[in-house]
Structures are given as C-alpha cells and as structure tokens.
Amino acid sequence: MAKQSKARTAFGKDLDSLLKRAGKLTIREYADECGVNYKYISQLRTMPNRRPAGVYAHLLKPFVRLRLLDVTEGHQLSMRHRGRPLSHSECRELFPSLPDYEILESIKQAVETRHKKSALRPRGQRLAHAEVGSPQPEEASPLYRKVFVGREAELKQFQSAFNAAVSGNGSLVAAVGEPGIGKTAICEQLSTYATLRGGSILVGHCYGEGTLSLPYLPFIEAIRGYVLTHDTDDVKKEMAVGAADIARIVGEVTERLKVEPRTQGDPQEERYRLMQAVANFLTNAAIARPLVLVLEDLHDADMGTLDMLTYVARNLAGTRVMLVVTYRDIGLDGVHPLSATLAELHRVAYFDRVPLRGLSIDEVRTMLENVTGGSIPLGLTQAVYRQTEGNPLFVQEVVRYLVEEGIISQEKGQWHTVAVTPLETRIPEGLRGIIEKRLSSLSQECNEILSVAAVIGREFSPEVLRLVTNMSDEDLFTALEKAKSAAVIEERAGVGAAITYRFGHAFFRQALYEEIIAPRRILLHQRVARALEEIYAAHPEDHATELAEHFSHSSDRADLTKAVSYGQMAAQQATDVYAYGEAVRLLEQTLKVQEILDPEDKAKRCDLLLTLGNALIWAGQPRRVVDETAPLALTLAEDIGDNNRASKVCLLAGRALIYYGSGPALGSPEFALWSEKADYYAQPDTIERAWADMFMGTVKRVERDYKSGRALLRRALDLARRLNEPSTLFMTARFWLWGSFAPQHAREAFQLVQEIERWSMQETDIAAEISLLLVVRHLYLVFGYRRKAEEVASQIRELAERIQQTNNLLVARLFDAHSLYMDGGLEDALAVCRDVAKSSRGMGLEAFMGTYLGMVTGRIQIYLGHAEKESQARVRWSENTGYTLDPVDSILYLAHLGRNEEVNEILEREVVSRAGIETDWEEMAASSCDHFLEAAVLTGHRSAAALLQQCFADSGMLTSGQFSPTIIPRHLGAAAALLGRPEEARDHYQEAMRVCTEMRFRPELALTRLQLAELILEHYPDEKSETLEHLDFAINEFREMRMQPSLERALRHKEILGV
C-alpha cells in the first residue's frame, strides 16, 4: 500500500505555488537559498501547529529577488500564514528601496483590508472562521512581535549624534556586535526618533558573497529610495552638476531626472568625481531636513562601498548628515577589508563606535514579559539568559520555541516550565541553520576536536584538550586556528602566558555536544575529569565546579564520591562570594549524585538538604524550603533519630517562612507548627534553644499571650548573650525589639538600640546584621533621628549589595520611597514602590514584600485621594497570598472613605472592649495605636480617642517609624481637640511642627499646619492672620505634592473666611 502523503498547510500550499512559478528551485535548493534549515521548512509545510516566526523575511527573500512578490503580496502571505502583516523591519529587509512612508502605508492598508473582510463576513461565519483558521491580526500572539528593550545608554549616544547633526555637526556612528545583538533594531529606534523630529531616513544594505554584489550597493539603494520619493526638481537641484556622475550607478537618476550619465574618462578621476558627487548630494539633501543615512552589514561591503564610506565620512564636518553603519565584530582579522577602513575612520574626529553586547538579566526578563504578555519567574529568566547570553534575537527565538513546543505554559498570567527536560538542552529550530552552517564550513577532524572541547565546557584550555585527545600540539593548534578563523571559538589570553579558548556562543557548544552519542559522552567526561585532576592537582578547589560536573557523569562509585565532594566544595565557594543561585544549582546536582551513590546514607542527604535550604533562602526561594526541602530533611533526621539535625531543620523552616512572608507569616499556622517542632527538638543551652524560644515567644505574642511571649523573647536574648554567638544574638535582639513595639516599651527598646551601636559587627552573619539594623533604623525614625536612620539605611544597602540576598535587596530599594515620601515626592515614591512590587512578584516574594510595601503606599495613596484603590489592592494581596488582613490594615482606608459605622465597630471591638484586659491593652503595638487613634479622630469616637491617647503618654515616641510613617504629636493634637482640650492640642501641634521641620517631613508639616489652622479657626477666632498664614502654607504645599483631599479641605476653610 502506498504511503499517504501529509496534508499541506496554507504555508505549504503557497510555497509550492511560488516554487512552481520560480521554475528551477527545489525545496532543498530553496532552503539553501534563504538560509533556513530544510527540516524546519518541511515542518512548516505539513504541521499546522508550526508557524513561521522570526525567519519569515528569510523565507520570502528568494521570491522577492526573483520579483515574484511585491510588498502587497508579501503582506497577504504574512496575513495568511501568521495572522498579521509584515513588520516595518521585515519590509525594510525585503524591499530596501521602498521609502518609509510607503512601507507604513502598505502595513496600514493590509490591516484595514483584513478588518473589512472580517466585518463583511456574517457574525456566525466570523466565529467559525476564528475557530479553524488563522488568528485575526488584532488577536495575533504577542510572541511574534518585534520587541526592543534596554539600550538606553547606547540609544542616547545615537540620539545625541542626530541632535548634533540637526545643528550642523555631522558625524559617523557605528553600531557593532555579534549577529542578532540588535544593531538593526537600534537603527530603527533612531529612525523613529529622527523622523519625529523632522529628519529624513535613507537605508542601504550590504550583501554577502553569492548574493547581490554590485559596487556601492548600499549607497545605490539609499539614493534610489530618495530619488523615487522626492520631487524631481528638488532632487535635480540637490544633485546639481553631480547628477551625471550619480546617474552612472543609479539608473533612476537618468529615468526620472532625464540626466544622461557622464561620458567615461580617466578611471581615477571618474571615481573621485563620483564620490564627490555623492558627498555633495547628501550635504545638499540635508539642508532642508537633517539626513540619517544607515548602511547595514558593513562586514559584507565591497571595497568600492568602503572607499565611498571613507570619503563621505571625511566630509561630514559642517553638514546636517548623520552617517550610521552596522557591522559584526566577530571574524574581523587583519586581512578583512573592513579592518583597514575602520583604521582610517578612527582618524575622523567625529567617528563614534557603539558596541552592543548582550542584554542584562533584568532586560531579558522585560523582553520576555513583552514578548509573552505575561509575568516571567526569575528561574525561567535565568535559564533563558544562560542559554542566550542576552542576545535579543536568540532570546526571542528561544521563548517562541519554548511556547510553540509546549515547554512552558501560562497560568493565571504567570509563565512556568511544564517539560521535564531542562531548557538548556534545547535549541530552537530557527537557530539550528545558523549554527550548522557555521560548523559545516570546518573539516571533519576539526569538528571532532570541537566535540571534545564541547564536553570540557564553554571555555577550555588547550592543555586539557591535548590530554583528552592525545593529539600532537601542531595538529591541535592547526584545528583550533581554523575554528577561531570561523568565529566558532575565541582565543583568550590569561595571566602570564596562559591561553584558553571559548566557544563564540553557547549554542555552538550545545549543538556539538548533542551530536555525541551517550556512551562516548560518558567516556569523554571521565577523561576530562581525570585530566583536570592531573593538571590542577595543586589547587583542585579552584576548579571544583568543573570536576564535580565531569565526575557526576560517571557510573564508577569512586568517581561519584568525588563528584559529591567537589560539588559541596564548589557550592561553598559560590556561597562565599554570595552567588546563591549557583550554590543552589550545584547542591541540587550534588544531591542527585548522592542519591545514585548511596541513597541509604540519610545523614549525608539531610546535611546536603540543610545546606541547600540555606542557599535557597539567600537565593530568594524560601517557599521551596518550606514546601520541599525542610519536610524531606526532617523526615531523614527523624528516621535516624538525630534530634540535633531535626532541630536545625525546624529552625531552617522557621527562617524560610520569615523570609517568605515577613510579619504575616509569623501569624500563620505553618510558623506555629514549625516553632513547636523546634521547641520539641532543641536542647538546653544551645543556639537552637535560643532560636526555638525566640520562635515560640513570637507565636505567643501572635496568640495575644503577650506576657508569656515577652518572657520567652527575653530568655532567648539572655541565652544568646551568654552563648556569644553573633548571628543568634543579632536575631534574638531583633525579635525582642519587634516584641517591644508597644509604646510603653519604646524607651527600653531605644536603650538597646544605643547598646547595639557598640556591638562588634565583624564576625556576624550579614543577613542577621541586616535583620537587626532594619529594626534599629525603625527606632531611630520613631525617636525623630532621620539622619541616623538614613545612615543605617545606607549601611543596610551596602550589606544587601554585598551578599545579593533577594529579600534584603528589595527592602533596601524601598528606602528611596521612604525618603521621597518624607521629602514630598509622593508620586515618585509610588513609582519606586510599583517597581519593587513588580520585581517581588516575578521573584515569588509577593507575600514578603506586600507587608513592607503596604507600610509605604497606604498613607501615600490616602493623601493622594486613592484610598479606595489602595484598599482594594490590599484585599487582592491578601487573596493572592492567603494571609488574613488585620483590622489595623483596613481601618485607615475605611476612616478616610467616611465608612464610619465600620470604623466604629472595629474601634469598639479592638480598643474599647480590650481596655480592661491589662496585658492585652498594654502590649498593643504602637503602629496599631496610631492607626486606631487617627481613625477615632476622623469618626469622632471620643472614648476610643481618649484611651488611645493614653497609650503614648511618656513614651517619647515622635513618629510611627517605618510603619505608615506619620507624626505622633499631630494625632495627639487632633485627639486633644476632639476631647475639648484646645490648649493641649495647640501644644501638640507646635511639637509636631518642630519635629516635622527637624526631620524634613514635608507632608506631615503641611497637614499639621492645616489642623492647627482649623483649631485656631474654631477656638481662637481673633487670630485670623495666623490661621491664614498656616492655610496659605498648607495650600501651596498640597498643590505641589498633589494631596488633593487635603487641598480641597484647606480651600474650603479659606472660602469660609471669605478670602
């Protein structure tokens, strides 16, 4: 029975039709012609779920060259195959002679045509069509959009050069980098910038061998585009007498301007006249509108183009011409024609070279989110970054491939990995052709040597390669020289005479590695491991990561033992330099090896899990510790009856919860459970005992057993002092201070802060030091020492940067928001908070940072008039994290929104009814007291206000610190006014004004003066001038800070006064 052929896709049918029209091309010849992998094209022809992505322009190029397609037909095909028209950059690539306005108009018409066809189709048919056909252009996946991110500094250089050209200071700027790095993209950004500022854009391309090879081709393309799109008389004036010379290379000059080419004379004279004519034309054309001439892919330029470029560049002074060139800096040896040209151009005073390198990991994340339209977790970003090294083309191709192949999927706006195979083991089909083409240019012997190098790693030394291959130095270096010439590898000089080599891109190494069959791969890894041990016998720790990796591929027990040992060594080295993500990777690999080596050694596995748990916390993945690492480690410890290990596991889980959810996590059932386990396993007079008491003291306070909780926290601190272990001392001090936030303990807490200033910070765990300093900073703010608080904040920033621990880095970024808020930059502070919130979501730390963010954003949003919006945001945070909102979290929003009944109900329950419970009442946190007091004043709840005012008596507290920062005397003044004690209120307001002025607390100063004006207006009517003075000050400040509700309130008072 004959084999049934596969059904063709729409792409397949159109391709076959075009190939038939082309006459001679087979599919394989077509694949070679457009530089795309034959297998990929075959899949596009027969597999409906495969859609042409970033290589689409390459797929159409052969037919454009044969003039079988114009731009309109190109859009029609793209609509049919991808559900969207060709992009602006694709049109530029396929139809370089078309001016920008024609390209943009063609795209507009293509979209409008599709919309009209969709609108004319009956609704039912439209729905049916949507189910079985291509997506509509407006619904096309964002995966296939061209995305530009980052490059702010580089783009600014280009923009500055254009601005200079506008002023008559022409220049030459070169965008330099590897394939796919974004040279064309940054030129497109410049084109948009220049066009919007009245500039004119001309573009020309150079082509590689075997394709178009006319002399001066990029200049021809650019000039042709100008001639075809501008008024004939204007062009004739701009070309002047040089038109006859330019007509020799640009036929359109003869056709449109009716100028015959100059009769040929002396070749050298004619060459000079041509170059002079082109330079003069560009200068004249830029008089009316500044001109940007972009010459792309200069590495493929012919010598005539390079000579023309050199001449024009030397004559840019005093012109309004900006000349932009792009070229690849790989493979440019001393004999390459461009090398000599660049040496000449460097002598030009106005030549600027802008190297483009890979995007940063943050920029890659932004790019991924723009491409996918969803939130991207840090782990996935890191995997893509490792594979692509930030090359924008590779990033887009990789993420498209991952989505198309179902390796990642989206759930609730968040992308995550669904495949078991690691991302690094996959290469997108769209890039295989590029890689295979480069490697196929090398000999079989050279490829075999490179395959061994691929086993060694991305970077390798010739010494290791020689030991593994047993080749002679001459043969080895001959092969390496060929690979270097093909830009597959790069040579690097180390310290002294040491030379190493590195694959030009990770994909080269990956492609070679994948071609090696598994048994040979294992054998080569063993050989490499032994070679490394031999070479680095004196200092194996410096190469522990490599040794662990290679030995882990072995099946020999002795090799696997070495793999575990080296893995631990490498992880410790990574931790020592704060590379926690790398430590996690190494430890996870080491655990896998240990399970193969000896799964019954539960003590060893437990120890590795404990180390992994600590690394996960510092790497910003504390939730994994609670969900996976700690439960497994505790089971292993309990199986072998080791209480000491079990105790350490419980402390690890408790710490992880703190880093995951901060304050709310301390009130969770999970934290209580792990604290009870820690209490059960901890032995007397040990570090573990101090931590367990600290945890249990915290649990008791959450349960409102304040007396027991405070006693346990004091016992933990005293034990830590006796043990004199710095990290434990710092953490217990931090938690004792946290448990002393009630106003009655404020002075005692501040005494401890002053003692802490004298403690040595030399031998402590930096994370514990940061944790303590956060509370120290808070208490400095509480007692009005803003400058001291900012010094501590700088210290925290420095420490956080040093250890690169995710939680602490995020918290440190909020210090800027605090300062901006206090200085009156409310909206700027919110912008910082939004940025931090976005980062925290991507890192899986929304629960942790939500608490800290709420401390800043809540009051700011209220002051800006967005109380309802912020209240809803807090509810969403609670729903997303599973943490219950405390009444104190919502009462301020309710009070400012005028929902008095709800506020009074909370005040009765949380304040009035608790006043008779001695320990309960005494231990209410200052932040709660302050919130409740402000709410009581706003709703006129006198009994609650009177009780809450007493909380702050003799406390010495001036502000609420980092918790929704505000000035305590201002609220005490408002309470006194409510209770009919105007003189007392006036004293509090005067004190508040003094504190605000000393602390430079701008919003609070304006609010204080408004409330003081209201007090005087009501109780001291004869002091109208002072009232107006305070109101005028407040109104001006509210306007500048955009505090709309307070502004309206102040203006109403001026109306009442008749001013």
Rounded to an integer, the average pLDDT of 612-628 is 90
Query: What's the rounded mean pLDDT across residues 835-860?
Result: 82
User: Domain residue spans in the chain?
Assistant: 10-143, 152-355, 361-408, 429-532, 533-599, 969-1059
Q: Which residue has the tokens 């956080």?
A: 800
pLDDT higher than threshold 70 for residue 85: yes
Per-residue model confidence (pLDDT) at position 764 = 67
Q: Which residues contact 934 (CB under 8 A, 6 or more apart)?
A: 892, 895, 966, 971, 974
| pLDDT score at 122 | 40
Name the DSSP letter for residue 24: S
The conformation of residue 477, written as its DSSP 8-state character, comes to: H
Distance CA(479)–CA(815), nearest Å, equals 56
Q: Is the pLDDT reported for residue 1000 higher than 80?
A: yes
Candidates 973, 882, 961; CA nearest to 928 is 961
Rounded (to 5) percent helix, strand, coil in the chain: 70, 5, 25
Please tell me which residue, 376 or 465, carries the higher pLDDT value: 465
Q: What is the pLDDT of residues 395-415, one digit of tens each?
A: 876 776 777 667 777 766 666
- Residue-level pLDDT at 374: 72
Confidence of residue 123 (pLDDT cuts 50, 70, 90): very low
The third-level CATH classification (topology) of the domain covering 152-355 is: Rossmann fold (3.40.50)
- Is 74 a residue whose pLDDT tops 90? no
**Does 429-532 carry CATH code 1.10.10.10?**
yes
Report the pLDDT averaged over residues 140-159: 75
Please report the pLDDT score of residue 126 as a whole number.
32
As given in the structure block, the two tokens for residue 665 are 């996590």
pLDDT higher than 60, residue 125: no
Return the pLDDT at 418: 63
Strand-pair partners of 201: 292
Q: Which residues of 200-216 are buried (b: 16+ CB within 10 A; e: fewer)?
A: bbbbbbbbeeeeeeeeb
pLDDT at 512 over 70: yes
Q: What is the mean pLDDT of residues 863-875?
A: 90
Closest CA to 692 of 703, 701, 683: 683
Answer with the residue of higher pLDDT: 900 or 99.
900
**pLDDT beyond 90 at 885:** no
Instruction: Name the 3-class secondary structure at 654.
Output: helix
Q: Which residues contact 773 (CB under 8 A, 6 or more apart)?
A: 792, 795, 796, 799
Q: How large is the average pLDDT for residues 563-568?
A: 94
CATH code for the domain defined by 969-1059: 1.25.40.10
Read off the pLDDT of each residue in 748-777 and give the average, rounded to a whole number.
81
Average pLDDT over residues 1018-1038: 93
Of 499-503, 621-625, 815-819, 1010-1014, which gets the smallest average pLDDT? 499-503
Among the listed ranges 85-99, 478-492, 736-750, 923-937, which one has the minimum average pLDDT value? Answer: 85-99
Neighbouring CB atoms inside 10 A of 1056's CB total 9
- Residue 135: per-residue pLDDT: 35
Note the residue count of the chain: 1059
**DSSP type of residue 391:** -
Secondary structure class of 380 (helix, strand, coil)? helix
Give the confidence band of 546 by pLDDT, cuts at 50, 70, 90. Answer: confident
User: DSSP E strands: which ranges in 925-964?
Assistant: none
Q: Supply the pLDDT for residue 5.
A: 43
* Gap between the Cα atoms of 936 and 948, Å rounded: 9
Least confident interval from 371-375, 788-792, 981-985: 371-375
Q: Is 732 helix (H, G, I), strand (E, B) or coil?
A: helix
Read off the amino acid at residue 137: P
Please give the pLDDT value at position 900. 94
Q: 922 pLDDT band (50/70/90 cuts)?
A: low
User: Has this prediction a pTM greater than 0.85?
Assistant: no
Max avg pLDDT among 255-269, 414-428, 898-912: 898-912
Structure confidence at residue 132 (pLDDT): 28
pLDDT at 530 over 60: yes
pLDDT digits (tens, 9 = 90+) for 329-372: 876 766 677 887 888 788 787 888 899 888 888 888 888 887 77
Interatomic CA distance for residues 1031 and 1059, integer angstroms: 11
Distances (CA, A) of 541 to 533, 547, 569, 803, 1010: 10, 9, 7, 21, 67
Which of 94-103, 414-423, 447-456, 555-564 is least confident?
414-423
pLDDT tens readout for residues 257-311: 888 888 766 666 777 788 899 999 999 999 988 999 999 888 888 778 888 898 8
> Residues 985, 987, 993, CA angle at the centre, nearest 5°?
105
Spatial contact of 416 and 425, defined as CB atoms under 8 Å apart: no
Q: Average the pLDDT over each of 2-11, 170-179, 534-543, 883-892 and give the range with the smallest value.
A: 2-11
Kindly state the percentage of the chain with pLDDT values over 90. 35
- Cα 600 → chain centroid: 42
Contacts of 34 (CB under 8 A, 6+ apart): 55, 58, 59, 61, 62
Please, what is the average pLDDT of the chain? Answer: 83
Average pLDDT (70-75) is: 86
Alpha-carbon span 38 to 41, nearest angstrom: 5
Secondary structure (3-state) at 445? helix
Highest mean pLDDT among 80-89, 220-229, 674-683, 915-924: 674-683
Q: Which residues of 525-544 are buried (b: 16+ CB within 10 A; e: fewer)?
A: bbbbbbbbbeebeeebeebb
CB 225 within 8 A of CB 99: yes
Query: Which residues lie closer than 8 Å to 547 by C-beta, 6 or more apart?
Result: 529, 532, 533, 536, 540, 562, 563, 566
pLDDT at 150 over 70: yes
Q: How confident is the model at residue 99 (pLDDT cuts 50, 70, 90)?
A: low
**Neighbour order of strands in the sheet with 489-493:** 459-460, 499-503, 489-493
b/e string for 1016-1046 if b means 16 or more Cβ within 10 A? bbeeeeeeeeebbebbebbbebbeebebeeb
